[in-house]
Amino acid sequence: GNSVTQMEGPVTLSEEAFLTINCTYTATGYPSLFWYVQYPGEGLQLLLKATKADDKGSNKGFEATYRKETTSFHLEKGSVQVSDSAVCFCALSDLISGGYNKLIFGAGTRLAVHP
Amino acid sequence: NAGVTQTPKFQVLKTGQSMTLQCAQDMNHEYMSWYRQDPGMGLRLIHYSVGAGITDQGEVPNGYNVSRSTTEDFPLRLLSAAPSQTSVYFCASSFRTGGSSAGNTIYFGEGSWLTVV
């Protein structure tokens, strides 16, 4: 079945460092891909998404490019801030009955940014 | 600007007790779902609904029951709580997510932290 694999954390960085969190997927067809974040004590928020190959999703300085050839959707940011500390989830859309999609999530990667 | 609202936020149950997690959305979304989040496992789908009166099982439905009597509400019932159901529960909603709408954003509530002792 379809699945998502993302790098284990925690990822610990100093403020202004470059961030990469790897995400690869296994899927039949061409799913949409998402990054969700969960800040401490809060629920999930959509960070960015891409719906077809070579699309780049971006938001709040974060970027991820849908790479069909490597089945990847790595999350990057050029200069992280303390306020970026969160658990980051990579996810893909997977078809369920009735023509709807559910999300399949990776295990999550904790990002900790220190001053 | 309520979005998806879940209650309660925190709950402690004893083994064997039953309870209902409430979920309401004010965006007129047809699709609603419940996920559970466990360490190292991401989120897994419990049940979902594509409209009032229509529900179906996800990956991990055992021990849970749902109903959808209105578009707005999608409660999750734990029939007889077990320690294995200790988890964080998220309700989510969206407009149609299939076919060309696969990229539609799914909106999540803030989560309900449940501990079963």
Q: Is the pLDDT of residue A96 over 90?
A: no
Encoded tokens for B36 = 């559970």
pLDDT tens-digit map of A43-57: 889 999 998 999 999
Q: Are B43 and A89 in contact (CB < 8 Å)? A: yes
B44-54 burial string, b = 16+ CB within 10 Å, else e? bbbbbbbebee
Supply the pLDDT for residue B46.
96
Residue A71 touches partner B, C-beta closer than 8 Å: no
Mean pLDDT of all residues in chain B?
91
Spatial contact of B36 and B93, defined as CB atoms under 8 Å apart:
no
Closest residue of B to A100, CA-based?
B98
Mean pLDDT of all residues in chain A?
92
Q: Are A103 and B108 in contact (CB < 8 Å)? A: no
Q: Are A96 and B99 in contact (CB < 8 Å)? A: no
Q: How does DSSP classify residue B101?
A: G
Encoded tokens for A7 = 């790098």
CA distance A28 to A30: 7
Q: Is the pLDDT of residue A15 over 70?
A: yes
Q: Is the pLDDT of residue B77 over 90?
A: yes
Bridge-based pairing of strands B19-25 and B4-7 is antiparallel
